[in-house]
Structure 1
């Protein structure tokens, strides 16, 4: 089978015509601020990929989503980033809806049928702050909660219809509980400020989203009950597994595009080119193994540890593979088009997505000693 054929077949099956639509534009056009990629993704029905078929979506599973995301990233890393922030938020909603009779199904129906895009305003994992620590706070008000704070960067900031956010719900005694809020993006008090100044991944619309006393109804806030031993609940665990799978697939796809160009060029010796493909495919197999657990309904603490293991291994692999691929493509390929430099720079962003490798090292070390994995 040709390199990436299975991934492109999956993309075409789930989102017919999207590959052709994105292929009509140069990589530079798709990666620049205000590029056409996100609109094309929405038009192709991308918003409903993970929504069950009975609610108008494609009902895609984790294995298909990893392949689809990898293929999408070969065409535009920025679009893949924006899509992933939407998709993992929808995956969390699907998890909630499976055990709830509340608003979740109505939201999922609207996401798929009305093609609504959902940004993710969860914690950023900044230095000295836990990845699950909210950057937004909420206080009680008549009719719900008043939410304030900001998320930066926040992908889809120019195209979002809904915002999913972690929120610290303040009580009268000065304490707080964790809440998960789903907020209409056109609510009064929401604004967007410029933030992303890099040309790399500029097409993902990752600016700052600011909330200033935004009223959110009670029924749009979920209050998870965390396990004190792991600092997680089912919703957070599921979200983190999906996030780490899909974010790994983005940069695996970006590296794959460079290697695909190397294969087409014929540069370098055959054995080295095959080695680079082998390394990428091995990383894909690791992600596929975790995705298989998700599709089999086995999402828990062990699945999260496996997802992080696969992600950090992929992170190291693509950094090495991209360096070799750029060298073999040669200086003329590097200077004659911005594509090689843009793709090579993009893969480094995987290390910046939370939870970072160093922040989970202690938790993973204890996990391998037989303790539950705890995420701070």
Structure 2
């Protein structure tokens, strides 16, 4: 049974085993986290350790060497367990894990006769058998995901893709780039996606990430210069430049593991603060108040996220991607946005109070809370709707239904 008093617990055997494996490696991961944060280097050795534990193949079928994890709740908790030791590492692998869960959902919901030719089935198998590592290569500075400027142009053999991508976490060790692009056609631009092998001609991975926080996440840039793709390699998602309501549920599912990062940071910070508090023989009223407020924030975070994850899994697990009605997808994205914002705000509050409990030493370079203080601030740039006007508009707009607005229209007299 899950409790807001203790850490949330995985609900499946696969989730339980993977979370336990990560916890056993906590000392190694935390030690390397400090090193990578100090020097701004990618956490390559820690990613390799997670691969050895089977974390990157979590969602791959057991028959292909994976764990068959198909619980969005447990996947998010797995990310949180990693983040409690190293938020940079959790950020890097969360992108890969979110995509792998999306592929597993596609396979889970597909008719049996379609499975042999399903790309997602091949990708999952490769994650389990061959160590395939996928970096989400979507973001471009200042542009929403449906208005990316990376272009795919048709040629005699297929396509050529050219563009520049930013914030490509995990890219230094990725074998493949799951990329979104503007597909130029005779009928106008369309939004498309493709899986691009990193060793393709024209792909340049720039290990140039130098962030204020999450310094070990490898979130650098990727340059695509006339990268050749086969004619059938691009999957068209819809019109380019228009917000696609059919993608709402996919955005919600992919954002859930990101919330796990901030749950993990909060739990790591709380653990550090409570170790300090336990060493104080006669705590003052002020110190006791800080501990109580910290625990309230942690309880609010856990309870909200646990409820949202249950709602997301119920709404998505047995429904094929892009098959939900617009209002259903909007409702699930609303739940994700609300939970993400509560998680962000309460995690920041937990870290702030943890630093006050531990005192000035926590504000020095090399202290774990100083690292968490910077890492947790990245949450504001990783919401399902990141710009302030976007999430405010969305939450306000979904507060009432069209029927509510019609029923409450003032009657002219």
Shift of the alpha carbon at 1:342?
0.8
Query: What TM-score comes out, normalization by structure 1 length?
Result: 0.88
Please say if residues 84 and 267 of structure 2, whose CA atoms lie closer than 8 Å, have aligned partners that are also in contact.
yes
Shift of the alpha carbon at 1:288?
1.9
Shift of the alpha carbon at 1:4?
3.0
Q: 1:95 to 1:5 in 2, by over 3 A?
A: closer
Please say if residues 45 and 115 of structure 1, whose CA atoms lie closer than 8 Å, have aligned partners that are also in contact.
no
Match of 1:14 in 2: 18
For 2:9, what is the secondary structure of its paired residue?
helix
Q: Deviations over 1:314-341 (max 9, x none)?
A: 2222222222221121012433743221
Could you tell me how far apart the structure 1 residues matched to 2:312 and 2:217 are? 27
**What does residue range 219-258 of structure 1 map to in structure 2 within 5 Å?**
219-225=232-238, 231-233=244-246, 236-258=247-269
Could you tell me how far apart the structure 2 residues matched to 1:143 and 1:227 are? 23
**What does residue range 289-308 of structure 1 map to in structure 2 within 5 Å?**
289-298=307-316, 300-308=329-337
**What does residue range 1-376 of structure 1 map to in structure 2 within 5 Å?**
3-4=6-7, 6=9, 13-14=17-18, 17-25=21-29, 26=31, 27-29=33-35, 31=37, 32-35=40-43, 36-60=45-69, 61-97=71-107, 98-99=109-110, 100-101=114-115, 102-124=118-140, 126-127=141-142, 129-172=143-186, 175-198=188-211, 200-225=213-238, 231-233=244-246, 236-266=247-277, 269-298=287-316, 300-335=329-364, 337-354=366-383, 355-356=385-386, 357-370=388-401
Q: 1:191 to 1:59 in 2, by over 3 A?
A: same
Could you tell me how far apart the structure 1 residues matched to 2:6 and 2:367 are? 23
Structure with larger Rg: 2
Shift of the alpha carbon at 1:259?
1.1
Q: Deviations over 1:46-90 (max 9, x none)?
A: 222123445442222111112111111011111100111111222
Could you tell me how far apart the structure 1 residues matched to 2:64 and 2:330 are? 29
Shift of the alpha carbon at 1:223?
1.5
Please say if residues 181 and 220 of structure 1, whose CA atoms lie closer than 8 Å, have aligned partners that are also in contact.
yes
Could you tell me how far apart the structure 2 residues matched to 1:133 and 1:229 are? 7
Aligned pair count reads 367
Query: What TM-score comes out, normalization by structure 2 length?
Result: 0.80
User: Which runs of 5 or more structure 1 residues have no equivalent in the other structure?
Assistant: none
Shift of the alpha carbon at 1:117?
0.9
